[in-house]
Structures are given as structure tokens and as C-alpha cells.
Structure 1
Amino acid sequence: MNTDEFRTSLRAWLDDNDLTPPDDHSFDVQVAQLSRVRRALYDAGWMRYGWPTEVGGLGGPAVLRAVLGEEIATRGLAEPGIYSMIEVLVPTVISYATPELAAEMVPRMLNGDEQWCQGFSEPGSGSDLASLSTRAEPDGDTWVINGQKVWTSLAQFADRCVLLTRTAPGHEGITAFFLDMDTPGITVRPLRTMHGVDEFAEVWFDDVVVGADRMLGRPGDGWQLAMDLLPHERSTCFWHRIAYLFSVLDGLVRQSDPADDLDLGAAYLAAHTIRCRSYGTQQRLGSGLRLGPETSVDKVLLATAEQQLFDTCRDLRPGAIEWTDPVLRSEYLYSRAATIYGGTAEIQRNIIARRLLDLGKGDSG
């Protein structure tokens, strides 16, 4: 099935199957709606396209997954950020878990039975991921984990966690595990952010025992796993988010008048720029090319477009964010973090300068 056929058939199916979310924007309801949407899409086959048959998929190009997420985001059927976690964690498990473990676990994520989380950031190791200190020490056929993670999305709902730990010094001393979140010794405390949603959590690990068969890759593969995972955060996930931003922009245009055209045009230009850039990233991903530091450009452009769009919403709808539109208020406040989460804008620009433009390496003279 090619992309156009897939989109046409999917749209017809979505028109005939009501997946409208409840009129309740609490985070618990959003997560429940996510499971509902995934289950319906999996049972109908849509969620399985673009994934390998070895893990319960129906095959086909990965771009079909981007089309599916775009339609879900545009129709507002599931919150794009948490929907897109599937595009970050499932490819990682497929690449690094044993084939048997991937075949067992991936269908549970695709069909909505489970949520997974990503245990990377720590209180002293956010954008500086290589300085993480959560330790895993060998004990026979198991490993014992102690430490703390923070800003872990969906941790309070998650059944599994892709967890980075330190097993030796340096980059080569980072090792990843696929951990069951109901393992004794794990404590999760949700974090209330300024946009009023408990999406993130702190997670403590106190003598948590995990089997060696749950290691992702080999000891020391964790840094490479992280470098492979991060571009996925900036490919299909971004395409979903961009689709959502355009739906917000379309709504704003319908409520505006010709005097607002200049502001709307600037917001559209920023959104169109990242969509063009992300389209190229989707093409590279669909061609089987490896994504690398060039996705830092995508990250900077998306953060810029997101903040500009919600700044425009604030300017053209006076009082809505402050008083009358709680959903828009939450989105506006969340957009303030767009230049922080997933690697700060400053770090992304350093990556672009050093790894893409080869700057900063000359002599001091």
C-alpha cells in the first residue's frame, strides 16, 4: 500500500469510527484515551503498518507511521506528545533487545495494553546525559540498580522503562536495561509543572534487581543506544507535533480578521519552515538512512515555530490564555519549555556548529 492509498483508506476508516476524546482534559483521561486509540487502530490493522512482521507488524515503509500520527494529531484524537513516544521507544527496543523480548513486548505497546517510559535525565544530568550517575552493579545473573531519574514522562502510568545506567566510567560505561516498573524498589512521584499537567515524574531506584536478559545490547552500549534514540525524537515525533501545530494555526486563522494577516503570516512561515525540514527528515528515514546530528536543526526550528505560534495566539486572542481558554493556556505554558526539553536550544546550536559546520576547532591564533 502506497502513502496516498494508506491515507485515503485511513481517513475513510476514521470517518466511520468515532474515536473522539472525552471533554475532559485531565492527564489521566488523556492517557486512557491514548490506550483506547491505540487499541482501536491496532485491531483495525492501522497501528501495525510500518513495523516489522517479527514484532507483530504488517511491514511497509516507516513513513506510513508518520501519516497515521499526522491524522491522529490533526483530528485531536490523542495528545501528540504522548502518542509519539511509540516512535521513540519501540524502534529502540527492536534494535537493542533480543528478538524474543522484542517480539513479546512490542505488540503490547502498539495495541495500547502498556505504556513505556524513558529513564534518561537525572537531577544533575539533563542535557549533559553522559554525566549520569544511576548505577547498575552485577550480581550473578542479575544487576542491582540504585539512583534517581527525573522528568520521566508517563512514569506513573508506565509498565516498562528504557533505562540508562552507569556500569563503568566514561561514555563506554553506560548500559541500558528494559525494566519492569512494578519491580520492588522503584518509587515514582509525579511532578506538577507550571502548565498544570502531571506528565513528568521523579523515579527512585533502591536495590532494584533486573535480569541480565533485560539488558538492551551489551554492557557499554547505552551511549550508542541514546545516540540512536534521540534522532527518533526529532523525526516522526516532530511530524506529529507539526501536524498539531497546523491544526492550532488553522483554528486561529478562522477566528482572526485581515488586520491580523502579518502576525498569522509570520507564524505560518515558521511552521511551514519546520514542516519542510521535517519532510526531508521523513524522506531520509523512509530511505533507510541513518539520522544523526542534523536533526538538531529540526529541534531548533520546531521550538522556534511552537513558541512563535502560541505567542501569536496570545496576541490575537487577548485574555484567552489568561482567563477563558484553559487548554490554550496549558499549551502556551508548555511551549515555554520547547527550547529546554529534549536538549536545550543552546546545546542544539553547539551541535550544529561543531558537528555540522565544523566550527570551534581552529587554533586560538
Structure 2
Amino acid sequence: MNVTEFRSGLRDWLDRNDLAPGPDHSLDGQVAQLARVRRALYEAGWMRYGWPPAIGGFGGPAVLRAVLGEEVATRDLAEPGIYSMIEVLAPTLISYAPPALAAEMVPRLLNGSEQWCQGFSEPGSGSDLASLTTRAVPRGDNWVITGQKVWTSLAQYAARCVMLTRTAPGHGGITAFLVDMDTPGITVRPLRTMHGVDEFAEVFFDDVAVPGDRMLGRPGDGWQLAMDLLPHERSTCFWHRIAHLYTRLDRLLAETADPDDADLGAAYLALHTARCRSHATQRRLADGAHLGPETSVDKVLLATAEQRLFDTARDLLPGVMELTDSPWRTEFLYSRAATIYGGTAEIQRNIIARRLLGLGKD
């Protein structure tokens, strides 16, 4: 099925099947809605396009998944950030897990029966991922994990965690596991952000025994897994996010008293630039290219566009951000994190300077 046929058929199906969220806009409600949407799309087959048959997919180019996420975001059927986590974690399992484990687990993520989380950041190693200290030591057929993760999205809802551990010194001493979150020794504590949502959590691992066959790749493959995973955060996920931001621009145009304001044009231009860049990344994925440090450009452009859009909304809707409890306020506050999550803007610019422009360390 080509992209045009896929989009047309999907839109027709969505028009005939009401997946609109209910009145509960809490985080609990958003996670329940996400499961509902994934389940319906999987049962109808749409969620299976673009994924390999080995994990229950129908095959076809990955761009079909981007189209699906774009339609979900444009119709506000699910919060785009938590919907898009599938585009980070499923490819990682497919690439690094034993084939039987991937075939067993990935459909559970696709069909909405499970939510997963990603255990990378630690209190002392956020953007400096190589400094992580959560350790895993062998014990018989198991590995025993001890340490702490933080800023772990939706950990309180997650059945599994794709996590990085320290098994030896240096970059070659980082090893990844797929950990069941109901394993004894795991404690999850949600963190309240300034936009009033417990989206993140800190997770403590106290002598958590993980079977050896839950290792992703081999001992020491964790750094390469992370380098493969992080560009996925900045590819199809960003395409979904940009589609969502366009809906907010449309809403701002409908609500402002001055739709000809020049700042609106600047916000549109920033979004359009990010979309053009993301479109180029989608083409590279479709061609089977390996994504790497160039996706840091995508990250900088998206963060800039998101903050510009909500800054413009603040300026054109006087008092709405400051004096009301509207969705605009929540999304404005969340946009402040756009230059932090997924790697800070400073780190991304360093990557661009050193790895793309060859400017060295000075």
C-alpha cells in the first residue's frame, strides 16, 4: 500500500470510527485514551503497517507509521508525546532483542495492552549519558541491577522498561536490558512538573534480578543502542509533534484578535522549517539510511519552533497564560521543557558543531 492509499483509507476509517477522547483530561485519562486508540488501530490493522512481519506487522515503509501518527495528532486522539514513545522503543526491541523476545513483546506495545518506559537519565547523568552509574552485576543466570533513574516518562504506568546499566568502565561498559516493572525491588515515585502533571518519575532499583535473556544485544552494546535509539526520538516522533503544533497554531489564529500579527508569521515559518527538516529525515528513513548526529538539527529546530509558537500565543492572548487555567497555560509551561527533554539545546549544538561541522573542542 502506498502512502496516498494508506492516508485516504485511514482518514475514511477514522471518520467512521469515533476515537475522540472523553472528558477525563488527567494523565490517567490520557494513558487510558492512548491504550484505547492503539487497541482500535491495531485491531483494524492500521497500527501494523510499517512494522516487520516478524513482530506481527504488515510490512511496508516506516513512513506509513509517520502518516498514522500525524492523523492521530491532527485529530487530537492521543497526546503526541506519549503516543510517539512507540517509535522509540519498538525499533530498539526489534534491533537488539532476541527475535523470540521481540516477537512476544512488541505486539503488546503496538496493541495498547502495555505501556513501556525508557530508563536512561539519572540524577547525575542527564545529557551526559555516558556517566551513568546504575550497575548490573552477574549472578548465576541473572543480572542484578542497583541504582536510580529519573525523568522516566510514565514509569508508574509501565509494564516494561528499556534501561541502560553500567557493567564495566567506559562507553563499552554500558549494557541494556528489558526489565519487567513488577519485579521485586523496583520503586516508582512520580514527579510533579510545573505544568501540574506527574508525567515523569524517579525509579529506584534495589537488587533487582533480571534474567540474562532480557539483555538487549550483548554486554557493552548499550552505548550503541542509545546512539541508535536517540535519533529515533528525533525522527518520526518529531513528525507527530509538529503535526500537533500546527493544530495549536490553527487554534491561535481562530482565537486571536489580530490574525495578521507578524509574530504569527514568524511562528509559522519556524514550524514550517522544522517540518521541512523532519520531512527530509522521513525520506532518509524511507531510503533505509542510518540516522545519526544530523538529527540534532531536527531537535534544535523543533524546540525553537515550539517555544516561539507558545511565546506568540502568550503575547497575542493577554492574561490567558497568567490568569486562567486553560489548556494554553498547561501547554505553554510544557513548552519550556522543549530545549531540555531529549537532550538539551546546548548539547545538541555541541553535537552539530563537533560531529557535523568538524569544529573541534575549542
Shorter-chain-normalised TM-score: which range?
Answer: over 0.9
Per-residue deviation, 1:193: 0.4
Q: Match for 1:30: what amino acid?
A: Q
What is the TM-score when the length of structure 2 is the normalising length? Answer: 0.99
Question: Among the aligned pairs, what percent are the same residue?
Answer: 79
The corresponding residue for 2:172 is 172
Distance 1:191 1:263, change over 3 A: same
User: Is 1:31 aligned to 2:16, yes or no?
Assistant: no
Per-residue deviation, 1:328: 1.3
The corresponding residue for 1:239 is 239
Question: Per the alignment, in what secondary structure is the counterpart of residue 113 of structure 1?
Answer: coil
Q: Match for 2:261: what amino acid?
A: D
Contact 2:155 2:200 in 1 (8 A): yes
The corresponding residue for 2:22 is 22
In 1, the alpha carbon distance for the partners of 2:294 and 2:47 equals 28
Q: How does 1:241-320 map to 2 (within 5 A)?
A: 241-258=241-258, 260-320=260-320
The corresponding residue for 1:130 is 130
The corresponding residue for 1:334 is 334
- Report runs of 4+ in structure 1 exceeding 3 Å deviation: 257-260
Q: How does 1:34-53 map to 2 (within 5 A)?
A: 34-53=34-53
Contact 1:260 1:316 in 2 (8 A): no
Question: Per the alignment, in what secondary structure is the counterpart of residue 136 of structure 1?
Answer: strand
**Gapped regions of structure 1 (runs ≥ 5):** none
- Which deviates further from its counterpart, 117-126 or 261-270? 261-270
- How far does the alpha carbon of each residue in 1:118-168 deviate from its partner, in whole angstroms, 9 at most, with x for none? 000000000000000000000111100000000000100000000100000
- How far does the alpha carbon of each residue in 1:164-208 deviate from its partner, in whole angstroms, 9 at most, with x for none? 000000000000000000000000000000000110000000000
In 2, the alpha carbon distance for the partners of 1:165 and 1:285 equals 29
Contact 2:148 2:202 in 1 (8 A): yes
Q: How does 1:92-241 map to 2 (within 5 A)?
A: 92-241=92-241
Q: Match for 1:107: what amino acid?
A: P
Distance 1:267 1:183, change over 3 A: same
User: How much is the aligned-residue C-alpha RMSD, in angstroms?
Assistant: 0.9
Q: Match for 2:20: what amino acid?
A: T
- How far does the alpha carbon of each residue in 1:279-306 deviate from its partner, in whole angstroms, 9 at most, with x for none? 0000001110000000000000000000
Contact 1:25 1:327 in 2 (8 A): no
Q: Match for 1:288: what amino acid?
A: G
Question: Per the alignment, in what secondary structure is the counterpart of residue 155 of structure 2?
Answer: coil
Per-residue deviation, 1:234: 0.1
Per-residue deviation, 1:258: 4.7
Distance 1:104 1:259, change over 3 A: closer
Distance 1:316 1:230, change over 3 A: same
Per-residue deviation, 1:259: 5.9
What is the TM-score when the length of structure 1 is the normalising length? Answer: 0.98
In 1, the alpha carbon distance for the partners of 2:351 and 2:361 equals 13
Q: Match for 1:289: what amino acid?
A: A
In 2, the alpha carbon distance for the partners of 1:324 and 1:351 equals 39
Distance 1:55 1:324, change over 3 A: same
The corresponding residue for 1:70 is 70
Per-residue deviation, 1:320: 1.5
Q: Match for 2:82: what amino acid?
A: I
Q: Match for 2:247: what amino acid?
A: S
